[in-house]
Structure 1
């Protein structure tokens, strides 16, 4: 570090576990539409844009892009990163790479810090759970980033001394708190304390917090005023003003090093505030260009400037509750502000119900594990490796081998795995989001009840411990604001309990996914292994059917079963799934004959002991899979009716409404085909567009925009793969010209990134063009025009 004035911006990037605890997939969340779920939506609005945030020139052209994760400090929350790794691998890779880049920028110190594993409120947890949260958070971080974390985020910055001590024991050097969480400070070695309660602590320096064990940990208290203006004010409307505000926080007459730093939810940059990532990028670039201040991360600053003062923290406080940690255990008065007048008295009974499950299960589980493994605590700590490896057979075998004193029977092996999974679910049921919002019907609360339901189910199966009646009885005392429900018990019965699925339901879903050639989400999650033998199948006409046997094994608990399984599909509203105990070849043949009858749905219902219809997730997957068939069907109808529609047109007779819809769709399909080819003849596209306009035919603009965007990205990838070939670049220009006819809304994020990567070729091509190279001249001209179409500055 070259100067003693430094700035650090911390983003706490986090999403809770949204997966259904049984199959391990995230269900459709309709409030996140048009996205499948909120993880997907926030990834599109925040996590992805921050990997390539735009910095514009004075003409509004993209001058450069930066990966903001490589310059700020950020929380690497395990539940978020696990989802990104599976569903957005490019974003996940860019975040991991950003940490590697930051180590080069910040003297070997990375920008990422760890997080307690699943964001439970540490002061409300048992010492046993606190320890595991820290151990799992460190293990998860090391597995992803290839290094030991130096810092760790406390969920909601909820702090107590025991948690800090466990973090220090795990090798954590520092954490970040809000200014009002400091109680008193003093110079190291002094006796007298200075009261700094009420957010009066000096935030421009780190502090040493001494712990009862003799260990210590450094604490950074962020600038609360600027952080609030970023999160809830308008500072992100102007990146230069954002930078100016940070610079203005330095003292005018300084006699010591100073660190100006803030911490906010990372989702502020793009999700909570549109284009917030661009303001952040401009701010970072502005600060980086200065000679009198430096960007830093906490670990680098701490190494260069060890604490000169020590602090006593206010225990059982947090950054988002002015009442300590009351928000996560009762009606303290804190709420989202969305529903004024709603009561949060439901929080108390929900906390009581979860604590009851935790405290009843934990000692019994430890006792049962003690009879099967050498050290139950070590086995529990090591279980994070199973999650990281998605319960692969190799990971399970290695885990059992490390912890079992000898060879385990299959039943004992299943028991160990099931107990460890119950332990995981018992921590997930304490996730902070369950109490943060305004009603027990909201997704966060329902999710923690689902985790509790899974933990209780496994406790019943492994220990004979039935906790659900007591859990429900406590929830009867939880009032509900939503008029559709009377108590929390009803919410649990209607919204949480039905999420449970067993091996038979997984088997039934496998048949449906197999019918459409899709991978079951339960398999993609890593939680199940399935093997189907589909002996009978028919895809003729609109009716589809499949029948065979399927073996389902839970890789998480080791449970396994074989079923006969069938699926019948005759449209999204006519889906019937069936499973039963295996009946042999003759029984399968008889079932297939029934499914070939005039009433195949009835045949499935009559022949199978368990019958289901499609879930929302299954319907979502099928809808996306069959969507192209709708267009094909409409086009087929149009082809059959085209002559009649033309006759109406020739005779001047107004066409029926259905004919207009058919004609509109057919014209849209022709436009889509042209876009898909890269618009080789723009005049044909313009002519058809003009015909549609003259006939008042309204094309499907969103679909056309998506098709044009896909083609532009494809052309950019072709241009990158064939440097020197101008054809793909010229194709981009044609496609954008055609898109402007309507005009279409284009998604150009990926294409712009590729174009910026290709700018390095431009100077060399320009040089060759200047020497009379005609091919180079054509390429350079094509690149200039393509870049202009994409809004990218060339030079």
Structure 2
């Protein structure tokens, strides 16, 4: 058997605010809200429907790459996809089910250490939890036990392999330079492996101290490097040829050519990389002598004939072993070659101090409250997976405190387990991978540490923050805006921390705009509101009570809350312990409620206290009103502007800008209506061009794209009605006038999905069905507009 396996490590770090459970806005990811959104749009989504084009550049086929490759299902990424992109999440789960049919019952997905901890640097109990939680998370999503597990950054040690094998993991994947020696099973002596020159086309058995074993696949390093850093993805056929050309000339033995890269290479790091992958997979499937496989299938058919010893404390992305995650080894992103990594050591020491101080105290505090603290810790992942639902929490305590436990004890247990979860998240590898302690990954691990320390202080009376900051004072910063890591902590970590009263204040602010607070949207908090005093959206004022309960810790409080908004820079929010209702009436009836709130509420927040996420949410809500206001001013002034034009009097510059805005708004309106009269659109577009008006083409393109997708969904729901299809053709014709940048990925997917009905309608049209003929013609025009081949 000659087989090829392509492994993609799909992973994003935890980016959620540890106090809120939701990812905040990340400006560097613009125009997307955050990097999870951006990488999903550029990689995770396209790989569920990768395009294969014909010689004319038309879409011939859509391929779900996940069904044919081997891939890592990293829990922190898949949890986000499940909540924010259930369509993509579902397509990936479907792909794994499909792969089981293709590969003899073996799925394409493999598990991952829970939150990408560098395992050799973790304490044994954390290694155990990373494996246990990784297995449980995987099984809950894919409905089966994982066969393989990816080690974060392929950082390996024997203890971690032993824990994986004990959890039922059959194999892992490592870099070729991580092989220390090999020998045929049954032989005594070892053959040393110099410079990573291990034979990669076969699996190896790794014997473990416990008496167990695990299989290891060492991927082809040269081809993997050319995929990740070379130009191999510029041509899918060449990619396939490189893989199929890597077999030896000996045809008498089975061989597996396999590679492993960060899967974000396919679309995010390399534009259209998912298309090259799809074409490559198709080429290999068409090959007579080679077949695609996944590791589990290959291992079943061809178990190891040799065993290997691994180089412990090594990884795939650090030439110095695992120093990238604890020292100044010289490994960096390449973006700042002159920068120092001296900050890595102090940050590692700070994190390990919190870990080592919290663990024994937490276990000691849990011992009288639950039957077995270690089992409770393992099962705590079920709470996370269920969003700490009341039913799941009740079931958890029924199992782990069968003798009964009071409300205070439940809250204490939940808080301790949440502190331990945060203590694992603070060890995520991305905290040390990049070039400065100001990078988002480093800030994120410090935020998790802060949350863990806050809970340790509340529940155990253990104050670790002073020592933590002392370590950070020894961390030099490359960014000239900061001197030490302690300053970074003050500026970028502390402002992210919120308590229940701050969540109540934010809830009032969001309620002014009819929005749900991120803490409630994430499911991490139960938020109940009662707004007896509330004005409409025109005059934004609100007063009432907010009850906030942390599902993760059980902490709960009730607050009187009031908020006034008269502009993004004129925000006043008040919070206090519940009091007499007359105070609400006093604020409500006052002619200056914003001025009354500071004297009535004990905690007051103003515009300067808003987080970036709060500003972003509010700005999105009020931004459309700016255009409406400008349009209203133009309508009020249009008659006068017309008179000036008739008299030959030059209009003021402001009037010209109003006129330009009004015309752009009319273009928007026509696109949103589906361009019922293309002639009017063309005439207005000509006016815009003639007068050198520069409309926002990106915004116009977005409006057109949304309308096309909406109408195509209607067309798919009404398969014999040509009207929606005719509207799509009109919109695309109008969009070409500028031309507008169109985002057609989803629309093309819908169009491809309708090709089956096209074939059936075409057959009916051939028998004289006039209605079917009109539909066929309309669909053909739409497919041509979208670049989809129909025959």
TM-score norm. by structure 1 comes to 0.98
Q: Does the CA-based 8 Å contact 1:158-1:325 persist in structure 2? A: yes
Report the alpha carbon displacement of residue 656 of structure 1 after superposing the two structures with TM.
Answer: 1.8
Does residue 602 of the first structure (1) align with residue 595 of the second (2)?
yes
In the TM superposition, residue 252 of structure 1 has moved relative to its aligned partner by 1.9
Q: Which residue is 1:546 aligned to? A: 542
Partner SS for 1:198: helix
Unaligned runs of 5+ in 2: none
The aligned counterpart of 1:653 is: 649
Q: Please name the residue that 2:209 is paired with.
A: 212
2:503 maps to 506
State the shift of 1:540 in Å.
6.3
CA deviations on 1:512-538 (whole Å, 9 max, x unpaired) are 111111111100111111111111112
1:547–1:588 Cα contact (<8 Å) kept? yes
Deviations 1:414-472 (A, max 9, x none): 00000000010000010000000111111111110110011011111111111111111
Say whether the 8 Å CA contact 1:353–1:474 is kept in structure 2. Answer: yes
In 1, the alpha carbon distance for the partners of 2:518 and 2:352 equals 31
Deviations 1:178-199 (A, max 9, x none): 0000000001111121111321
Cα deviation code 1:143-174 (max 9, x no counterpart): 00000000000000000000000000000000
Matching residue of 2:70: 73
Which of residues 672, 685, 691 in structure 2 aligns to 1:689? 685
Matched pairs, number: 788
Candidates 342, 347, 351, aligned match of 1:350: 347
- Counterpart in the other structure of 1:56: 53
Q: Name the CA distance, whole Å, in 2 between partners of 1:133 and 1:520.
A: 31
| CA–CA distance in structure 2, aligned partners of residues 559 and 540 of structure 1 | 32
Q: Does 1:632 align with 2:625?
A: no
Q: Give the alignment's Cα RMSD to 1 decimal.
A: 1.1
Matches within 5 A, 1:32-431: 32-431=29-428
Structure 2 equivalent of residue 751 of structure 1: 747
Among residues 567, 573, 579, which one is paired with 2:569 in the alignment?
573
Distance in 1 separating the partners of 2:322 and 2:693: 59
Q: Displacement, 1:507?
A: 0.2
C-alpha deviation, 1:407, in angstroms:
1.7
Answer with 134-143 or 723-732: which moved more: 723-732
Match of residue 777 from structure 1: 773
Give the match for residue 612 of structure 1: 605
Q: 1:477, CA displacement in angstroms?
A: 1.0
The answer as to whether partners of 2:237 and 2:279 remain within 8 angstroms in 1 is: yes
Task: Choose from 584, 588, 593 the match for 1:588.
Answer: 584
Q: For residues 257 and 439 of structure 1, do their structure 2 counterparts lie closer, same or farther at Cα, with a shift above 3 Å needed?
A: same
Quote the residue 2:663 is aligned against: 667
Cα deviation per residue 1:85-125 (whole Å; 9 max; x = unaligned)? 11111111111111111111111100000000000000000
Q: Measure how far apart 1:581 and its partner are.
A: 0.9
CA shift at 1:636, angstroms?
A: 1.1
Structure 1 residues 756 and 540: alpha-carbon distance in aligned structure 2, compared to 1, 3 A threshold: closer
2: CA distance between counterparts of 1:326 and 1:766?
Answer: 64
How far did 1:654 drift? 2.4
Q: Tell me, yes or no, if the aligned pair for 1:5 and 1:258 is still in contact at 8 Å.
A: yes
Give the structure-2-normalised TM-score: 0.98
2:476 to 475, 479, 500: 479
Deviations 1:585-638 (A, max 9, x none): 1122112233xx24x332222221111232211111112222222222121111
Taking the aligned partners of 2:739 and 2:474, their CA distance within structure 1 comes to: 56
Q: Distance in 2 between matches of 1:585 and 1:609?
A: 15
Could you tell me how far apart the structure 2 residues matched to 1:350 and 1:519 are?
35
Q: Which residue of 2 aligns with 1:455?
A: 452
- 655-664 or 436-445, larger mean C-alpha shift: 655-664
Question: Secondary structure in 1 aligned to 2:754?
Answer: helix
Structure 1 stretch 300-309 or stretch 246-255: which is displaced more? 246-255
Instruction: Measure, in 2, the Cα distance between the counterparts of 1:711 and 1:409.
Output: 55
In structure 1, what is the Cα distance between the partners aligned to 2:579 and 2:611? Answer: 26
Of the three residues 503, 518, 521, the one matched with 1:521 is 518
Aligned partner of 2:694 in structure 1 is 698
Distance 1:14 1:495 in 2: 24
Q: How far apart, CA to CA, are the structure 1 residues paired with 2:584 and 2:689?
A: 57
Q: Which residues in structure 2 correspond to 1:551-570 (within 5 Å)?
A: 551-570=547-566
**Cα deviation 1:221-273 (Å, max 9, x = unaligned):** 00000000100011111111111111111112232100000000010001111
- Partners of 2:542 and 2:732 lie apart in 1 by 45
Q: Distance in 1 between matches of 2:44 and 2:651?
A: 49
Partner of 2:759: 763
Q: Is the 8 A contact 1:392 1:555 kept in 2?
A: yes
Local SS of the residue matching 1:323:
coil
SS at 1:387's partner residue?
Answer: helix
CA contact (8 A) 1:181 1:197 kept: no
Counterparts of 1:585 and 1:575, CA distance in 2? 23
Task: Determine if contact 2:660/2:693 at 8 Å carries over to the other structure.
Answer: yes
| Contact residue 660 and residue 697 of structure 1 kept, 8 A | no
Counterpart of 1:6? Answer: 3
After TM superposition, the structure 1 stretch with the greater mean CA deviation from structure 2, 645-654 or 448-457, is 645-654
Is the Cα contact below 8 Å between 1:441 and 1:491 reproduced in 2?
yes
2: CA distance, partners of 1:645 / 1:735: 31
CA contact under 8 A between 1:418 and 1:462: conserved in structure 2?
Answer: yes
Q: Distance in 2 between matches of 1:604 and 1:288?
A: 69
